[in-house]
């Protein structure tokens, strides 16, 4: 029979972390991702409306691409930082 230390399982009582701590941490990362994408898409849409309201929404698409790229980059950085500290 293997004990918890040799199996690699971490007991939340002995690890020093609260069991629900990861839920809040990763929820915050997800909210940050959604907010970043939403703000850049809204900024692109606003810029499209002020420059050429009847044209193709280039700035909206640019904001979407930038938001997804930056949001993914921040997500990878945050999760990688959390993996290193645990």
What pLDDT digit, counting tens, does each position of 5-56 carry?
555 555 555 555 666 778 888 888 899 999 999 999 999 999 999 999 899 9
77 touches 62 (CB < 8 A): no
- The residues, any chain, with a CB within 8 Å of residue 55's CB and separated by 6 or more, are 48
Q: Give, in degrees to the nearest 5, the angle at Cα 68 between 63 and 74.
A: 120
pLDDT at 9: 53
What 3-state DSSP class applies to 58? helix
Q: Virtual CA dihedral for 7, 8, 12, 15, nearest 10 degrees?
A: 130
- DSSP 8-state symbol, 45: H
């Amino acid at each position: 029979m293997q004990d918890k230390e040799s199996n690699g399982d971490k007991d939340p009582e002995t690890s020093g972390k609260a069991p629900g701590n990861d839920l809040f941490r990763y929820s915050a990362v997800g909210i940050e991702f959604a907010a970043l994408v939403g703000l850049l898409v809204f900024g692109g849409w606003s810029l499209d409306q002020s420059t050429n309201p009847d044209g193709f929404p280039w700035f909206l698409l640019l904001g979407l691409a930038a938001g997804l790229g930056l949001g993914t980059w921040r997500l990878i950085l945050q999760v990688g930082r959390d993996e290193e500290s645990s």
